Structure formats: C-alpha cells, structure tokens
C-alpha cells in the first residue's frame, strides 16, 4: 500500500490560524507583532524563502520590516543594523536569512541578535535553552517536523529515529528535540562520515532526510511502513519547467511505495517552517515588555 502523504500545508494552516487569533488579541492592546527580515545578496532560493515569510506575516496581520542589503555589505554595517533593531521596541523578532555572503561571519551575526528577538532559535543562548529543556524559541524546521510527527500520531516514544544530516539548522537540533523525555525517541544521527548509511536507515521507524542531496534516500534504504520526513529542498535543472528548475527533496519519489507516511516536496516540511516562525514571532510580541 502506498504511503499516506502528510499534508504539511493543511497542518500549517491550522497553526497560522491560531497565530492570527493571537495577533488580533495583541492588536487590541495596540501591539502589532513585527519581524525584521534581513537578506544580504541575491541568492534566488533565499529571495524566495524571504518572500514567502513576508507574505505569511501579512496574512497573519503582522508587520514585516524587510531589509534587503547588497551582497557586498560590510559585516560591521550588518552588526550595527542588528544593534539598532535590538533596541527598537517596535521590532519583536529579527531574522537574518542564511547563508550570508562569504565575507560575513555567520556566527558573529547570529550571536549579535538579542536572544529575546531570536525567532529563528539559532543564537547560542536559544540553543542552550533548547538542549536544557528550558523555555525559549525552538528552531522552526525541527519544531515543524516534530509537530508533523505528532499530528499523524506516529508512535514516538521508544521509536528509532534516524536523522540524516547534522546541520546546525536542522539535523543537530532535531536530534536533540527527538530525545526529549516528552518525545522519547532513540536517535541515530548519520552524516557524510557515516559508513554504510543503508544499515542505519533500514533500522529507522522514523527517517528524517536533511542532507541537502537530491534523491539520497532510495526505497532499498527504507524499512516498510516507516514515517519518512523529507527536509530537502533542492533545485535541480529542468528545461521543461518555466523557471528552468524544479524542486526536489532528499527522498526519491519511489520511496512512497515502501513508507507508511511521507512528506511531499514542496508542501510538506516547508510550510511548517513558516508556520513555526510565525508562532515564534507572535510569542516574541506577547513576551515583549512594552
Ligand atoms: N536558511 C535556510 N533555512 C533558514 C531558516 O530557517 N532561517 C534562516 N534565517 N535562514 C535559513
């Protein structure tokens, strides 16, 4: 039997409706949640992500302060801008779209953001809070994956989750969230240094592909009935597409014949990331001292 396709769009919609409701309550108290979105350079994928985030903010009734900087912006200029936004009480969240141009130190930039406005959950303080299970902003994509898994009621406690990829944005935080007591999965993290990847993936009740490699996961690598979550968003050249490329995940389409659940690309994890970001922005505004 082919896999149940997890409708990330529909699940994210419910979250966004709740965000909208919370935004309305804040606006009645004259607080309009505001996210400053900083993009440096012209990376086409980053432009499309930022545009989607700005659209979601408007739909939720929130404000987006969109700051598009040239690719050759000096690091000090970006750091000064963040210092200004940290002080600005009308700004509740600050998001710097990654990757940054090569001459800018990402670590320095992320660390410059006030943790109270770190709606991406990338600041070392946010990461520390997450690891310790303290309140704070959770990173949007890993949190979105967790919400998807809960929504389909896939058994998590005692399940073996295999995360393929160890990025700071997805793999590392997701592995951490899955081992929380209230989730209780056993986690294996695979990466480019892993020997015999298939041996590990075949053991997965939950397989999360977050390596950024098109079609890395093939049907032979999947345990029958597993929940397969595809975090990959890869642009592959396609002369038949009007923009010259198509989006493809890290998971081959044929995996749907073997898995129990699968997320589509697009329409799976992507919309969840945006919904969780909106949730963090409204939370930042609720917690702001005005
Ligand atoms: N680049 C890819 N994903 C993300 C994300 O979730 N946040 C930011 N700021 N940049 C990204």
Cα–Cα distance measured from residue 269 to residue 144, given in angstroms and rounded to the nearest whole number: 7
The residues with which 64 forms a beta bridge, in sequence order, are 35
What are the residue numbers of the active site? Answer: 53, 97, 120
b/e map 17-45, b = 16+ CB within 10 Å: eebeebbeebeeeebebbbbbbbbbebee
Look at ligand 1, atom 2, and give the residue with the nearest C-alpha: 98
Question: How confident is residue 1, by pLDDT bands cut at 50, 70 and 90?
Answer: confident
Q: What percent of the chain has pLDDT over 70?
A: 99
202: CB partners within 8 A, 6+ apart: 221, 222, 223
220-230 tens-digit pLDDT: 999 999 999 99
Q: Which residues line ligand 1 (CB under 6 A)?
A: 95-98, 120, 140-141, 169, 273
171-209 tens-digit pLDDT: 999 999 999 999 999 999 999 999 999 999 999 999 999
pLDDT of residue 289: 66
For residue 213, give the nearest of 195, 197, 202, 224 by alpha carbon: 197
User: 14 C-alpha to center of ligand 1: Å?
Assistant: 22
pLDDT at 290 over 60: no
210-221 tens-digit pLDDT: 999 999 999 999
Which tokens in the block code for residue 28?
A: 């009645």
pLDDT of residue 134: 97
Look at ligand 1, atom 9, and give the residue with the nearest C-alpha: 97
49-90 tens-digit pLDDT: 999 999 999 999 999 999 999 999 999 999 999 999 999 999
User: 97 C-alpha to center of ligand 1: Å?
Assistant: 5
Mean pLDDT of 126-132: 98
234-264 tens-digit pLDDT: 999 999 999 999 999 999 999 999 999 999 9
Which ligand 1 atom lies nearest to the CA of residue 46?
1
The residues with which 189 forms a beta bridge, in sequence order, are 163
Which tokens in the block code for residue 46?
A: 């980053």
User: 140 C-alpha to center of ligand 1: Å?
Assistant: 9
pLDDT at 96 over 90: yes
Mean pLDDT of 141-156: 97
Which tokens in the block code for residue 198?
A: 């298939």
Cα–Cα distance measured from residue 152 to residue 269, given in angstroms and rounded to the nearest whole number: 13
């Amino acid at each position: 039997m082919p896999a149940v396709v997890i409708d990330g769009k529909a699940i994210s919609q419910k979250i966004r409706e709740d965000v909208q409701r919370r935004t309305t309550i804040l606006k009645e108290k004259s607080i309009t949640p505001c996210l400053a979105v900083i993009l440096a350079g012209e990376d086409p994928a980053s432009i499309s992500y930022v545009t989607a985030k700005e659209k979601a903010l408007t739909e939720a009734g929130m404000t987006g302060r969109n700051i598009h900087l040239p690719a050759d912006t000096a690091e000090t200029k970006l750091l000064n801008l963040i210092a200004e936004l940290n002080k600005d009480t009308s700004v509740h969240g600050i998001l710097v779209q990654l990757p940054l141009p090569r001459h800018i130190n990402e670590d320095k930039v992320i660390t410059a953001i006030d943790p109270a406005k770190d709606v991406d959950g990338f600041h070392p303080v946010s990461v520390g809070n997450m690891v310790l299970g303290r309140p704070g902003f959770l990173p949007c994509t890993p949190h979105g994956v967790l919400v998807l898994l809960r929504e389909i009621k896939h058994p998590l406690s005692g399940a073996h989750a295999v995360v393929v990829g160890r990025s700071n944005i997805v793999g590392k935080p997701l592995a951490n969230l899955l081992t929380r007591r209230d989730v209780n999965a056993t986690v294996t993290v695979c990466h480019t240094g892993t020997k015999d990847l298939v041996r590990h993936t075949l053991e997965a009740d939950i397989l999360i592909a977050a390596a950024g490699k098109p079609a890395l996961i093939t049907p032979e690598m999947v345990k029958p009935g597993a929940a397969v979550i595809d975090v990959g968003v890869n642009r592959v050249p396609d002369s038949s597409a009007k923009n010259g490329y198509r989006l493809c995940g890290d998971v081959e389409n044929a995996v749907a014949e073997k898995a129990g659940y699968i997320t589509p690309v697009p329409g799976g994890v992507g919309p969840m990331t945006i919904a969780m970001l909106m949730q963090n922005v409204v939370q930042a505004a609720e917690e702001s001292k005005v």
